[in-house]
Amino acid sequence: MPAKYTLHVVLNERLVRYVRDKVVAGHHPTASDVVRDSLRKLMERDDMQKLHADVSRRADADG
C-alpha cells in the first residue's frame, strides 16, 4: 500500500463550493478524492503540454 501524507490546503469559497458540490453530486466519495483526481488531471495536462512542446520542437528542427 502506498504511503499517505496529509497536507493542509487553504481554498477560497468558490473552490470549497466546487469540491463540496462534486461530493454531494456523488462524483467523488470525499473532498480528498476530488483534490486527488484534480491533481492527477493537472499532471496529465502538464505531461500533454510537454509532449506537444517536444513534438513542435522536433517538427521545427526537421524543417
Mark residue 8 as left, alpha or beta (left: phi above 0; alpha: psi -120 to 50; beta: remaining): beta
Residue 3 belongs to some domain of the structure: no
- The pLDDT of residue 59 is 87
Residue 13 belongs to some domain of the structure: no
- The pLDDT of residue 48 is 97
Domain range holding 27? 22-62
Residue 34 belongs to some domain of the structure: yes
Residue 57 belongs to some domain of the structure: yes
| 31/24 Cα distance (integer angstroms) | 10
Residue 35 belongs to some domain of the structure: yes
pTM, 2 dp: 0.79
Residue 1 belongs to some domain of the structure: no
Residue 28 belongs to some domain of the structure: yes
Exposure b/e, 34-46, CB count within 10 A at least 16 = b: bbeeeeeeeeeee
Query: One digit per residue, pLDDT tens: the chain, 63 residues?
Result: 677 899 999 999 999 999 999 999 999 999 999 999 999 999 999 999 999 999 998 888 887
Residue 37 belongs to some domain of the structure: yes
- On whether the CB atoms of residues 28 and 22 are closer than 8 A, the answer is yes
Domain count, the chain: 1
